[in-house]
A and B are shown apart, each in its own frame.
Chain A
Amino acid sequence: MDSDTFSNQKGWTNKLNALNEIRNLKLHKPELVLKYGATLLTKHKWRLGTDYWNVCEDVFYASLDTLSPEWTDFTIKALRRQFGQTVRVMRMEGILFEHSGRFNEAMKIYEEMLTTNPLDAATWKRKIALFRTTGKIDEAINTLNTYLETFQADIEAWEELADIYLANQHFSQAAYCYEEIVLSSPENCWVILKYAEMLYSIGTLEKVNLARKYFMQAIILNNQCTRAMWGLYQCCNFIKSGKPDDVNTKLLDKAKALLQKAYQGSPIQISNLLS
């Protein structure tokens, strides 16, 4: 959605609606949230009713993003006073610890929360993210695997696991995780493209052959996708160095032609890049 839809809302109801909308759509607009939230919390406290606490929560997260400690302080204190040791407030305490770099305290909170409520997906994710932040990659992978045993259909988690594996050059594991994402959005050009790149990175002839198929699929889904064209070109070059094969030569020529067409009118000399 366009960001202008939400900016410059006048009147407290419009501001509140904008905040609700941002929350529901899970958009990331900390400045805007802080701006609206601050007005609502200071000038319209009595009109908000129960929404006051939701706004408080929004402003809390927004204030962490924008480094506005006075708002962090204000909102967490208000929420603490109101709700005490509830799940959402506890998670916020954990995030606050993370924010100030006290990772051990944060971890303690998350672990405590997960023992009492092992189905709290958001806290699981915080814990995994915390492991990743502190560089404990093995723990992050293990925790994520435990999480995925319960929440198998959580695409976001599969993506994160693929990302962790990728960052550590475990391409086949990453490809396995990414297959989950391919399965859930088979028409998404970027997903197909990324999967193809993982297959190519594994580097065996069999996988590169597969990668070639997926690069073609990505180009079919989006014929402007230069990255997929380069991928196809690379795959064909890789396969060419093996035994000569008619289809591959044709595809290589096709990839070159597509790239030359895509770079028409660009200052980059494409013929220098295509050897």
Chain B
Amino acid sequence: MELLLDSSIRDWVLIPIIVVVLLSGMLRVMLSHLMDPKKDPEKDDVVVTQAVMRSQKLRQNYSIVPESAFKIRRSFFCKPQTGFLYKEFENTAMANFMDPTSQLDMIKKNAAYGITTMLLFSWVSSFCSGFILARVPFPLTQKFRGMTQRGVELDALDVTYVSSSSLYFLALFGMNGILSLIMGDVLAGKDKIQNLAMPMMGAGPAGKDFGKIMTAERENLDLVNYKFALDGIEEYFLKKF
């Protein structure tokens, strides 16, 4: 069955949908670029992570350094009251978890994406539903009917014809590459554009409980039973060489 598509469908439906989707995509990228909060890592966060890393290394390889070197470090970390791992740090774990602003940012991003997508979709379906807009220039199997002919329930219609809501989705999902070409300059130095266009849930900062981490590390370091690895190396050396 061959259909002749009116050229004014092309001019008044096909092109507007693509243009609107493109423009809204650009707007969204711009907005998220502007609203993107500067998320610097907290100073305490860095300090604690680095201290714990250093103490872990000490725990793993302590036997290679002389006893005095080990003890001086252990007392730096674990001396009651004054030791580094006894220090009080503001606990950003609960703060992060409960912090309304950080959650709000995420919700805002997701909501902006969801709402624009929904608005556009309802715009497309209310103004342009039922249109056959285009035809893909290659044959497709029946399986693609759901993809190309959403909103048009005609079994006899060839699968290569594309309905308006389907075109909207195709345009929406196919837009990332084109956007990154157009908006590349705005986003240079940013992460992948896909991340901005489709923020994912759960990508937020993982909360950490400093108190717990530091106590655990302190206990582990206290448990270390120091033994110098190079004790008796003289005999071994004389035997080996």
Contact = CB atoms under 8 A, between A and B. Distances in A.
Interface string B200-230: 0000000000000000000000000000001
Chain B facing A: main interface SS: helix
Contacts of A154: 50
Nearest to A232: B237
Interface residues on chain A, size class? 35 or more
B238 interface: yes
B57 A183 contact: yes
Given A119-B46, A182-B65, A50 B230 contact: no
Contacts of B69: 176, 179
B120 interface: no
A213 B67 CA distance: 13
A226 to B, nearest CB: 14
A153 interface: yes
A124 to B, nearest CB: 12
B106 interface: no
A251 B235 CA distance: 9
Chain A facing B: main interface SS: helix
Contacts of B57: 153, 183-184
Given A53-B188, A153-B54, A182-B64, A119 B43 contact: yes
Contacts of A82: 185, 188
A214 B66 CA distance: 10
Interface in B168-216: 180-181, 184-185, 187-189
A256 to B, nearest CB: 12
B115 interface: no
A50 B43 contact: no
A128 interface: no
B197 to A, nearest CB: 15
Q: Lowest 7 A-B CB distances belong to which pairs?
A: A153-B53, A186-B64, A213-B230, A153-B50, A50-B188, A216-B237, A152-B50
